[in-house]
A and B are shown apart, each in its own frame.
Chain A
């Protein structure tokens, strides 16, 4: 995957090489197209760049992070749990990649600019959305309706799961459809006990299942099974978790039809008013700062939700003065992210003669149970929990008293079992949560930056409150002690499930993209990443992005074959 000199007109140009860009590269090259993938950041060589097996003993600050450097260069990125001393190199430099917000409304925009994008550091949780989600807006009478239903996307969930490899346990729940799963990972003793207690307390209303994750529990499509080292976000030399670098880009590369160009910062798209098509892309070389252009018959914008919208906003023309493909006026509006940071934890007594062997890169999941069959008075929609039980490690000694030989001997053994539930709540689309170009500022490559206006509103706050109290109730039902509800006051953005700002829809007057992620206004322009989302569900979105991308690619190529594109 190195830069190769090729003719500068391509069948397709894909902007971004992460989760969706990688899928677009695989699908379009496999269907015979000559494809240029433009990646803003540097190349990634797994042998050189992955650091998952580097022991903490070799880290300069022993896992405490290079605090002074990250305070200076990554004051926002460092607030993400995955931006640790090992993996901080996979997160952007905030000084080079600025954006602005309202002073009292922080938005944590977490980004990865390198081949693979954020698919290198993502948390790999992979769930299908259901018609509870796709029908949500029309049921509640807010925003706009999704132009698709579960039946439209189901075959594409099957398709991407079969390639990516998703571990999970079928549960038969309508709100969280089962997929084509690889064998599930095991719960540990305490998780099994909590699960049983929840069955006794809640029956089928609140089900605890093992996390569904894009991690291989057996050899799959030439990639090796997981070896349970744990920190996937630092890379995976055995390619056992799904990322574009580990899975989709190598397939695209193998076709011989992909040119991958790193250090290619996209400034804007070139719109031809005669043909009413986009003809190419304006690029700033990330190293030389030289401006250049590339031509393509179709363009897939896969730069991540807000970067994709930023590109369209920066591509305004006399006709589309508020942003390319924005005749609807919807571009930039309805920014969403899942509200997180609320939940509870507690001690589960006993089980001290039992341990978990292996570092499971996955947790447990409690699918949404609010407003599924019940009707809540205080809020619309709902939330799901991710969580885990684990025994306390030596770190507990930091907060305890004691010292000397007996203290040391006690810390050698694992401590008590802690169980936690972390909620992830649906965010309602609201046009007052929006992005625009901050005309006063440019980034290190001279590209105008975003101004992000976003805040949690009453419905999200009500969900957060409920997810704290219900998590505590579930822990109590499971016999936990020292139960502690928590609220981390997590700002929007930090969940890294940012969605919306270029929504799909059947009506060109109310949406930017059609049911196939094709711009209503510009037929050869496709945008299948998180920007397209019409509502946010409470379900982790990446698997849906993958399915929508593969589906959009199929549609685009069929249209090309019919001579429509």
Chain B
């Protein structure tokens, strides 16, 4: 299987990423697809480490906990297992491979093991790539039932990391301070500091 076949399997996106060696690619795939992580049903231990690290770079702990504490990885595993189509799942898992490959090419080790600065650089690259591919500035009005993850990997990652975080207990209660029962309606009040949204 040679380089061409490896590239084909990894999809067109990998063409512009730097590939260090075919041997590396094959080993990487074997490692990533290996043992499942704990109670997870789709992500392997290695894939899970990437998801945990990347989501936490995107939504880090500040004065509130971040994506890792909110277990965004477990939400993503559920979506991949019970919600996503095979096609959507494939895009996501290949994206994880690509993240590792990019990191390896630039820094000589995988994404999960990389220091924070390197992880930020890789996420930055993904983010810029996605921004360049967006042809519209305005949010696409997707009706909930039309929601699809047939999107570039990092668009999937953005949606799932954000949904996973902001709909978690940490996201709802600590970060957004959502009140389920406001108890009153005031149409027009100052944003701060009287009322927190």
The A389-446 residues at the B interface (CB cut-off 8 A) are 391, 394-399, 401-405, 407-409, 411-414
Chain B interface: which of A171-179, A181-189, A328-336? A181-189
Q: Which residue of B lies closest to A59 (CB)?
A: B167
Name the contact of A185 in the complex, choosing from B66, B138, B185 (C-beta under 8 A).
Answer: B185
A399 CA / B79 CA spacing, docked (Å): 19
Beta-carbon contacts under 8 Å, B142-178 to A:
143-145, 147, 158-159, 162-164, 166-169, 172-173, 175-176, 178
Decide: B191 and A227 in contact? CB cutoff 8 A: no
Please, which residues of chain A bring their CB within 8 A of the CB of B188? 186-189, 192, 354, 356
Residues of A contacting B75 with CB < 8 Å? 62
Shortest beta-carbon distance from B133 to chain A in Å: 11
Q: Within 8 Å CB of A413, what residues of B?
A: 191, 197
Contact: A356 with B143, CB < 8 Å? Answer: no
Interchain CB contact under 8 A, A356 and B167: no
Q: Closest residue of chain B to A488, judged by CB?
A: B143
B183 contact from A60, A67, A227, A486, Cβ within 8 A: A227
Pick the contact of B184: A78, A81, A358, A414 (CB < 8 A). A358
> Is A61 in contact with B83, judged by CB distance below 8 angstroms?
yes
Q: Mark B120-134, 1 if CB is under 8 A from A, else 0.
A: 100110011011001
B-binding segment of A49-57, A268-276, A513-521, A550-558: A49-57
In the complex, A47 has a CB within 8 A of chain B? no
The answer to whether B40 has its CB under 8 Å from any CB of chain A is no
**Complex: A59 Cα to B184 Cα, angstroms:** 25
Indicate whether A53 sits within 8 Å of B138 (C-beta atoms), given known contacts A62-B164, A62-B167, A354-B189.
no
On whether the beta carbons of A81 and B167 are closer than 8 Å, the reply is no
Name the distance in Å between B94's Cβ and chain A's nearest Cβ: 21
Q: Which residue of A lies closest to B189 (CB)?
A: A357
A186 to B187, CA, bound (A): 5
Within 8 A of B (CB), among A62-92: 62-68, 70, 78-79, 81, 83-84
Cα–Cα, bound, A482→B137 (Å): 10
Question: Is B195 within 8 A of A53, CB to CB?
Answer: no
Contact of B28 with A by CB under 8 A: no
Query: Does the CB pair A408–B60 fall under 8 Å?
Result: yes
B145–A68 touching, CB < 8 Å: no
Q: Taking each of A60, A64, A395, A413, which has the highest tally of chain B beta carbons within 10 Å of its own beta carbon?
A: A64
**A484 interface contact, C-beta 8 A:** yes
- Verify B189–A355 contact, CB threshold 8 A: yes
Q: Tell me if A372 is interfacial: C-beta within 8 Å of chain B.
A: no
**CA distance in complex: A84, B145 (Å):** 9
Total B residues in contact with A, Cβ cutoff 8 Å: 57
A403 touches B57 (CB 8 A): yes
- Chain B contacts for A486, CB-based, 8 A: 141
Given contacts A53-B180, A355-B195, contact A65 B144 (CB under 8 A): yes
Q: Which residue of B lies closest to A188 (CB)?
A: B187
Task: Point out which of B66, B128, B144, B172 has the most chain A C-beta atoms below 10 A from its C-beta.
Answer: B144
CB distance from A327 to the nearest CB of B (A): 42
Chain B residues within 8 Å of A373, by CB: none
A396 x B139 contact (CB < 8 A): yes
| Max chain B C-beta neighbours (<10 A), residue from A189, A401, A407 | A401
Q: Are A401 and B145 in contact (CB under 8 A)?
A: no
**How many whole Å from B144's CB to the nearest CB in chain A?**
6
Q: Say yes or no: B184 contacts A228, CB within 8 Å.
A: yes
The docked-state distance in angstroms from the alpha carbon of A408 to that of B197 is: 15
Contact B78 A61 (CB under 8 A): yes
Among B57, B83, B172, point to the contact of A56 (Cβ < 8 A).
B172
Contact (Cβ within 8 A) A394 B58 = no
B59 within 8 A of A: yes
Task: Select one of B131, B138, B191 contacting A401, CB under 8 A.
Answer: B131
B141 lies within 8 A of A356 (CB): no
Q: Is A191 interfacial (CB-CB < 8 Å)?
A: yes
Could you tell me if B183 and A356 are in contact, using CB atoms closer than 8 angstroms?
Answer: no
Instruction: State which of B138, B173, B175 has its C-beta within 8 Å of the C-beta of A412.
Output: B175
Closest B-chain residue to A85, C-beta based? B144
B60 and chain A: residue at smallest CB distance: A405
Assuming A228-B182, A228-B185, A358-B185, is B139 touching A399 (CB within 8 A)? yes
Q: Pick the contact of B145 from A79, A189, A356 — CB < 8 Å?
A: A79
The CA-CA distance from A63 to B168 in the complex, in Å, is 11
Is the beta-carbon distance between B83 and A356 smaller than 8 angstroms?
no
Q: In the assembly, what is the distance between CA of A66 and CA of B82, in Å? A: 8
CB distance from B135 to the nearest CB of A (A): 12
Pair A359/B78 contact, Cβ less than 8 Å: no
Q: Which residues of A contact B82 (CB under 8 A)?
A: 61, 66, 68
**Partner of B59 from A68, A226, A403 at Cβ < 8 Å:** A403
Within the complex, the shortest CB–CB distance from A340 to chain B, in Å, comes to 13
Residues 426-482 of A at the B interface (beta carbon under 8 Å): 482
Task: Determine whether the beta carbon of A360 is less than 8 Å from that of B191.
Answer: no
Q: How far is the CB of A212 from chain B (nearest CB, A)?
A: 16
Q: Counting CB contacts under 8 A, is A229 at the interface?
A: yes
Q: Can you list 6 A-B pairs, Cβ within 8 angstroms, ordered by A?
A: A226-B185, A356-B188, A399-B138, A401-B131, A407-B58, A408-B60
A68-B82, A84-B144, A404-B120 known; 16 other A-B pairs, CB under 8 Å? A61-B83, A64-B144, A65-B144, A227-B181, A227-B184, A228-B185, A229-B181, A358-B182, A360-B185, A397-B158, A399-B140, A403-B57, A404-B60, A409-B62, A411-B162, A414-B197
CB-CB nearest 10 A-B residue pairs: A186-B187, A358-B185, A189-B188, A62-B167, A399-B139, A403-B58, A358-B182, A357-B186, A401-B131, A188-B187
